[in-house]
Structure 1
Amino acid sequence: MLQYDNSAFYFFALSSLSFYLVPSWWSILKRVVNAFTVSDEAIGAVTRTTAEKKKAEEIKKETKGISTLLGNRSFLLHVLFTLAVTAIFCWLLVSVSIDGEVNTFDPFHILEIDTGADNKAIKKAYRSLSLKYHPDKNPGDRAAEAKFMMVSKAYEALTDEEAKRNYELHGNPDGKQSLEVSIGLPTFLLDTNNRNLVLMVYLIFMVVLVPFGVYTYYSNSSKFGEKDVMYDTYSWFHYTLNEHTIIKSLPELMAGSAEFRKRNMPKDSNEKSTIAKLLSGMRSQMQKPKYNHPVCVKGNVLLHAYLLRKTDALTAGLKEDLRCMLRLSSSLLDAMISVCQHQDSLQTAMNCIELGQYLSQAMWVKDSSLLQLPHFTAEEIKHVEKGKQKCDGILQYRDLPDDQKKGMNDFTDAQKADVAAYLKLFPDITVESKVFVDDDEDDKVYEGDLCTVKVSITHNNVKEGESIGLAHAPLFPYPKQAAWWIILGTKEGKIINIEKISATAKTIHHAIKFLAPRQGEYNFDLWVKSSAYIGCDQKESVKLTTLDNSVLPEYKIHPDDAELDDEPTLFEEILNAHIEQDSDDDDSDDESDAGGDANKKEAVPDSAAAKKKAQLQKARQAAGGDDDDSDDDSDAEEVYAEK
């Protein structure tokens, strides 16, 4: 007789909770250890120049130390929930220590008498307990009913000879059992007084909590598409981006992303006035806003304040909103570029890549690329541009001899060392490209061939075996991994391929595959653009000559291959065997019906052949072939084999 067993419930609950507690405490301890022992390089807090020192300190402040744990709401909730579960686990351990024996069938224990009691004591105990737990005296009490049945079973085991013998031999009055189990649930569930409480808890869990959890998970996950960008954001980009979108309008479009619509809603009148004041001060350096929604206006102003390096005028709350926008900017830019690729808007995609460069360096379209140099301001750039040695950008400035580098007269030795260190970090690349067809020995490309453009990017300022490392972006508040965008497009502005390569080796290889166009000569444009630096992009021309594929020799099948093609497949052999068996059955039927008639005997092969042909034609029709009665058997088999 199965019964509710508190001890079995304790053991079951302990084993179940351990599946959560062990990995949960492991993750908590790992998080705590990492908060104090993680290296600076692992979290991106590198200091290659003094300009990066402030950023490195901010990153370490956010990711290292006890303050990072106490300020993380999700981590604290995780710890509190784990502590609550641990408390339940400890209570179960105490309960097991008090009542740790799993219920077994012990008739003396059930009748509440000593082991080995005589028949008089057994009968007395049975009468007392049976009267106490009889269903007539306890109507509707399932616990009393179960107890009454167990008392009856125990009395039978001690008084009935056969039941007593089975109990002594097998531990059960019913004889040997293949499996002995009890219900691993607490006995208070059987208490009539707890019925309403149990039902209420069950309904709340199954009808409220579980559906709510499923709904919340589904509703949140269904909002996001590729690159963890919301579907509403993709719709917004599809609506606003086109082949005529200029780079100065892109900050406003990014500000309209669905990820910012709740956070960037102005919170009070003071924030509105601050945004209006900033907007009036930057209006001459901004594209005229196209959308007047408060979210778009606020986000547009915040991004321009960052790009123009005017964040000192922002309040603490606005700075935090800006940090949130910059944290999501990389994934949003990737989404914008994928939309441009879908729309085949090459120039707009390149504008989005350049916006990523400006966001990394906190610069805007009219700024000189020299502004990326540490400690350089507009004054130093003017001094460089007025020098005798003309310098149009950072690449020319890097190639100048040290004694001809202007703009650092007022710099300290440490600041000059920062500039020298940055110029060594700035990408110095060599781009090589080659067009070929795989497994083609004559290096000729014919119409319809699968062409491969192999692009090789070599970092001349990186030693063999070293990695590129993080980009030098001291004003971008998060670690920025340097990457390259490789774009292949036509002269007409159509995209053949665009892809982001995040490899960090000295030499990077990338293959672009596409089908060769019609016969003629083509010049494609190949761009290699940085995702984090301004002024190091390169452009090459890829020439392709395609020939008419009609001049190619006709492909002839080798005789051995042709013989293999003629061999029947396993399915055809089974089909033919089935047809021949049907034909043999028809022959025997015709012979028995003929009664020795010679004319009918001669007609048997003809009818069998006709039936075989008809079946082959039906098979061919089922495979999609034409129904032509003039086809012979072999033609039908070949058609069916091809299908």
Structure 2
Amino acid sequence: MLQYDDNGFYFFALSTLSFYLVPSWYSILQKVFNAFWVNDEKIGAVARTSAEQKKADQLKKSQKGMSVLHSQGFLINVGITLALSMLFVWLLFMVSQDGEVNSFDPFSILEIDHGSDSKSIKKAYRNLSLKYHPDKNPGNRAAEAKFMMVSKAYETLTDETAKENYEKYGNPDGKQSLEVSIGLPSFLLDTNNRNLVLMVYLVIMVGVIPFCVWTYYSDSSKYGEKDVMYDTYSWFHHTLNEHTVVRALPEVLAGSAEFRKRNIPRDADDKKAVSAAVTNVKSLMPKPKYNHPVCVKGNVLMHSHLLRQDVAKVHEEDLKYMLRYSTALIDAMISVCKHQDSIQTAANCIEFGQYVTQAMWTKDSPLLQLPHFTPAEVAHVDKGKVKIGTVQEYRAQAEDQRKGMATFSDLQKKDIANYLHIFPDITVESKVFVDDDEDDNVYEGDLVTIMVTITRNNLADGEKAGLVHAPRFPFPKKEAWWIILGQLKEGKIISIDKVGNSNKKVQHAIKFLAPPQGTYEFDLLIKSNGYVGVDQKLKVDMTTLDNSALPEYKVHPDDAELDDEPTLFEEMLNAHIEQDSDDDDSDEEDSDDEDQPQTEAAKKKEQLRKARQADKDDDDDDSDDEAEEVYADK
């Protein structure tokens, strides 16, 4: 018999809580461990030069220590986990008091000792049946259920068959395939709690669950690929085209949907700080196309970063928020350019990402990437006899000939040496071929492979590239390369991919179908995701031949014989056809057998007709003879 079981409910509740508490405590302990004992390299808090020390300290401060554990989401989760853990402990205590799940025990139901005599059984049954009788407890379902259990228990102890079944199978009804009870607390049957139970049920089913589903759906439906909002993609499709230049991209980035709540001016001080920032950068940025407050504020903050100007304290967190999402948003810009087939704009977006990483702008010298270098040090380098415009040229000089470090300390000079080892020095090679092709010719329709090989000459064998050296970018950024294949003049993109391999030698295969017959010249662009002035551009020539010039393919005799052999499908099909033919033949034979009796009958009928006709002819002859005789007599 089914009954409401408090102990069963305890076990059920413990199991249910475990599904939340186990992963929740694991997440909490992991965050606590990462906050105090995680490796600095794992969070990117590595200072390879003293210029990176401030950035490393900020990363440690933001991702290690008690500050990490002060986040609102973490504290809410801890509060919920502690409350449920206390409930879990209470349930364990209740189970420890009486952890046996309810089973059918007639003595316990009748509240008597095991082995009680029949007199005690009858007395207990009489008292309990009077107490829980439905007539004395109208509308009380708990009392009704108790009365049924008491009646069943009394029957078990007084009826010989029921008693024998109970002693043998543990159930008065005999052997059962499954013995269960309802794992719900008994107070649900109490009529006094009926309104409360219904109210809680309605709140959960009609309020809480639909709200959670709606919240999840509404949040997740806003985001597309790379966790970028759909509104942002629409904005990029609207603002980016084949004529977009690098100087216009800060405003495009500022209009992203991710910043619309963050960058809305909050109060008078915020608006005043925006106006002051506009005054500082107005002469160095193009005229804005959009006057929306969100675009204006984001555009000004981004230009302040690119021009290495200090921002108001009220805007420091807003700028940091924009830089946090800048990498993903710029990647989304590039994907939109790929969709629009705008190769030059895609290259401009990649260069914009370089400028954002290094906190530089279009007219700045690449030498500003060197640690501790300012426009004054760059101007000192320009005064040298040898014209130096790139970091590669500066690295190629002898140490005693390098300008700009006259006022540097030994530590700062050491930083320059370390940086020149970190700064990429790459060699790019390309090879055009067709897989599994014996000759080097490319024919129309072939699957062509262009293998691009990037070799980092600044790394030793077995050494891997680390993070991009970017002291002014507040977040770690892994060194990667954008590989673009297309035609700049025609504005076409064949392939554009981001390769994050950190090995010394990196290979990337670009596959596409060979175009119609002719000679083609493709542009191969290799662009860094974080450094300025290391990009390379190569020409890839390819001649496509007419596929009609291919030699005739001759089938080997053995292969030809194999082609003649029927396949398994054909064998099955033939077998099916033969079976159908046999069925048709049998049907024809049956029809012949059926027609045979009809032919015999027709023959008999024809013979009978001829016999009748013969008799008639004989009668006619007799009539003629009689007529002749009569005529003769006359």
Query: Fold conserved (TM > 0.5)?
Result: yes
Comparing 400-409 with 248-257, greater Cα deviation is found at: 400-409
Superimposed CA distance per residue, residues 205-258 of structure 1 (whole angstroms, 9 cap, x where no aligned partner)? 111111111111111111111111011111110111000001100000011001
2:560 — aligned with what? 562
1:36 — aligned with what? 36
Q: CA deviation at 1:20?
A: 2.5
Superimposed CA distance per residue, residues 97-116 of structure 1 (whole angstroms, 9 cap, x where no aligned partner)? 22322222221211122222
Amino acid at match of 1:377: T
Is 1:488 matched with 2:494?
no
1:15 — aligned with what? 15
Superimposed CA distance per residue, residues 2-42 of structure 1 (whole angstroms, 9 cap, x where no aligned partner)? 11111111122112222322232222122212211111111
Comparing 445-454 with 469-478, greater Cα deviation is found at: 445-454
Q: Residue 14 of structure 2 aligns to a residue in which SS?
A: helix
1:506 — aligned with what? 504
Distance 1:567 1:406 in 2: 81
From 415, 420, 426, the equivalent of 2:417 is 420
Q: Residue 45 of structure 2 aligns to a residue in which SS?
A: coil
Give yes or no for contact 1:307–1:363 (8 Å, CA) kept in 2: yes
2:227 — aligned with what? 228
Gap change, CA 1:120 and 1:502, over 3 Å in 2: same
Distance 1:176 1:590 in 2: 62
Give yes or no for contact 1:389–1:404 (8 Å, CA) kept in 2: no
Distance 1:595 1:2 in 2: 70
Q: CA deviation at 1:320?
A: 0.3
Equivalences for 1:445-594 in 2 at 5 Å? 445-490=442-487, 491-594=489-592
Q: CA deviation at 1:592?
A: 4.1
Unmatched runs of 5 consecutive residues or more in structure 2? 600-634
Distance 1:297 1:481 in 2: 30
Amino acid at match of 1:354: E
Gap change, CA 1:591 and 1:126, over 3 Å in 2: closer
Distance 1:242 1:17 in 2: 54
Distance 1:585 1:175 in 2: 57
Q: CA deviation at 1:541?
A: 1.0
Distance 2:478 2:580 in 1: 73
Superimposed CA distance per residue, residues 143-182 of structure 1 (whole angstroms, 9 cap, x where no aligned partner)? 0110000010111111112222222222222222222221
1:68 — aligned with what? 68
Give yes or no for contact 1:523–1:543 (8 Å, CA) kept in 2: yes
Gap change, CA 1:136 and 1:526, over 3 Å in 2: same
1:109 — aligned with what? 108
Equivalences for 1:69-468 in 2 at 5 Å? 69=69, 71-311=70-310, 313-315=311-313, 317-468=314-465
Superimposed CA distance per residue, residues 555-593 of structure 1 (whole angstroms, 9 cap, x where no aligned partner)? 233343333334334443333333333333333333344
Q: Residue 66 of structure 1 aligns to a residue in which SS?
A: coil
Distance 1:333 1:242 in 2: 15
Distance 2:235 2:542 in 1: 37
Amino acid at match of 1:206: M
Q: Residue 467 of structure 1 aligns to a residue in which SS?
A: coil
1:621 — aligned with what? none
RMSD: 1.8
Distance 1:485 1:102 in 2: 64
Distance 2:340 2:60 in 1: 41
Amino acid at match of 1:112: E
Amino acid at match of 2:464: S
Distance 1:23 1:289 in 2: 49
Q: Residue 67 of structure 2 aligns to a residue in which SS?
A: helix
Q: Residue 500 of structure 1 aligns to a residue in which SS?
A: strand
Comparing 548-557 with 320-329, greater Cα deviation is found at: 548-557
Gap change, CA 1:439 and 1:581, over 3 Å in 2: closer
Superimposed CA distance per residue, residues 335-391 of structure 1 (whole angstroms, 9 cap, x where no aligned partner)? 000000110101100000000000010000110001111111111111111211111
Amino acid at match of 1:208: G
Q: Residue 42 of structure 1 aligns to a residue in which SS?
A: helix
Amino acid at match of 1:117: S
Q: CA deviation at 1:595?
A: 5.6
Distance 2:548 2:103 in 1: 88
Amino acid at match of 1:244: H
Q: Residue 233 of structure 1 aligns to a residue in which SS?
A: helix
Gap change, CA 1:7 and 1:409, over 3 Å in 2: same
2:623 — aligned with what? none
Gap change, CA 1:595 and 1:130, over 3 Å in 2: closer
Q: CA deviation at 1:493?
A: 2.4
Q: CA deviation at 1:408?
A: 1.2
Distance 2:583 2:478 in 1: 77
Amino acid at match of 1:18: S
Distance 2:537 2:361 in 1: 22
Superimposed CA distance per residue, residues 297-354 of structure 1 (whole angstroms, 9 cap, x where no aligned partner)? 110001001001112x422x31101111100001001100000011010110000000
Distance 1:569 1:372 in 2: 68
Q: CA deviation at 1:596?
A: 11
Q: CA deviation at 1:502?
A: 0.5
Gap change, CA 1:40 and 1:593, over 3 Å in 2: closer
Amino acid at match of 1:542: V
Distance 2:62 2:136 in 1: 68
Q: CA deviation at 1:459?
A: 0.7
2:618 — aligned with what? none
Q: Residue 41 of structure 1 aligns to a residue in which SS?
A: helix
Q: Which has the larger radius of gyration?
A: 2
Distance 2:587 2:163 in 1: 73
Gap change, CA 1:188 and 1:442, over 3 Å in 2: same
Q: Residue 41 of structure 2 aligns to a residue in which SS?
A: coil
Comparing 229-238 with 266-275, greater Cα deviation is found at: 266-275
Superimposed CA distance per residue, residues 373-414 of structure 1 (whole angstroms, 9 cap, x where no aligned partner)? 111111111111121111122221111111221111111111
Number of equivalent positions: 597
Gap change, CA 1:450 and 1:589, over 3 Å in 2: closer
Distance 2:178 2:367 in 1: 82
Amino acid at match of 1:492: E
Distance 1:583 1:193 in 2: 79
Q: Residue 522 of structure 1 aligns to a residue in which SS?
A: strand
Distance 1:587 1:246 in 2: 82
Q: CA deviation at 1:130?
A: 0.9
Distance 2:33 2:411 in 1: 35
Is 1:24 matched with 2:24?
yes
Give the TM-score of the pair, scaled to structure 1: 0.90
Identical counterparts, % of pairs:
69
1:52 — aligned with what? 52
Q: CA deviation at 1:597?
A: 9.2
Q: CA deviation at 1:554?
A: 2.1
Distance 2:586 2:110 in 1: 82
